[in-house]
Amino acid sequence: MIRSAVVAVVALALCGAGTTAMSAPGFVSPKLTLSGPAKAQPTVALTLDACTGKTDMRILNALVSNGISATLFVTQRWMKRNAQALALLKSRPDLFQIENHGAAHVPAIDVPGRAYGAATAGSGAAVIREIEGGARAIETATGRKPVWFRGATALYTQTSLQLIRKTGARVGGYSMAGDGGATLGQAATAKRISTARDGDVILVHVNHPERPAGAGVVEGVLALRRKGYRFVKLGASASR
């Protein structure tokens, strides 16, 4: 149990809200939930993947306006293309925590193959390059070394998980795929997120402003807030 971050990996299990997390034999997706003493107020962690492309300001603006905390897993590619959004994240460390989604958004899988259609890193050395390249970019941009790493597709092998941990990073798993990889519609996304349970780590995407899922993220998150849910980052502040 990772007491310092008050977050625990419950199991190396397949997750993904009704869909399989395996796209090839041997690939796993670690499940992550919040842990700690129970509180009367239900608590979740909202995590946003910024893979590449643009920024869905509908989501970021709603989080700022409502004082909702989130952890963003960003790639080096996204940071290069979204300087204004990155500046916003850096200006609000009270709300936003920036963590590592890799250098080039390559699945951190150390065997050749494809994960959800994307070519894997293919070797241990390539996995390390993806992790360390993303970490260096974040440290250069923010002055802070990231603690968490979530690979593209959030799929791994057992050996690539070992490599990630050897770098000193913690694996950014999740327990709810809130927007189905930004492929769900607004209503479906909102409904799924609104059903989150106490302790869930919710994964959604913030790099598809052209898709309706982003509006659903906002709707679902605000629905949880109205229910009295508290939002925490994947860090020391994530005590329950």
**What's the pLDDT score for residue 26?**
76
**What's the pLDDT score for residue 25?**
57
Per-residue confidence of the chain (240 residues) as pLDDT tens digits? Answer: 333 333 333 322 223 332 334 445 579 999 999 987 666 799 999 999 999 999 999 999 999 999 999 999 999 999 999 999 999 999 999 999 999 999 999 999 999 999 988 999 999 999 999 999 999 999 999 999 999 999 999 999 999 999 999 999 999 999 999 999 999 999 999 999 999 999 999 999 999 999 999 999 999 999 999 999 999 999 743 333
* Burial class of 154 by CB neighbour count within 10 A (0 to 12, 13 to 18, 19+): buried
* CATH class given for the domain over 7-232: alpha beta
Which residues lie closer than 8 Å to 172 by C-beta, 6 or more apart? Answer: 32, 47, 71, 73, 99, 148, 149, 150, 154, 234
CB atoms inside a 10 Å sphere around CB 119:
12
Cα distances from 127 to residues 62, 94, 103, 155, 172, in angstroms, run 34, 31, 10, 12, 15
**What's the pLDDT score for residue 165?**
96
Domain segments of the chain as ranges: 7-232
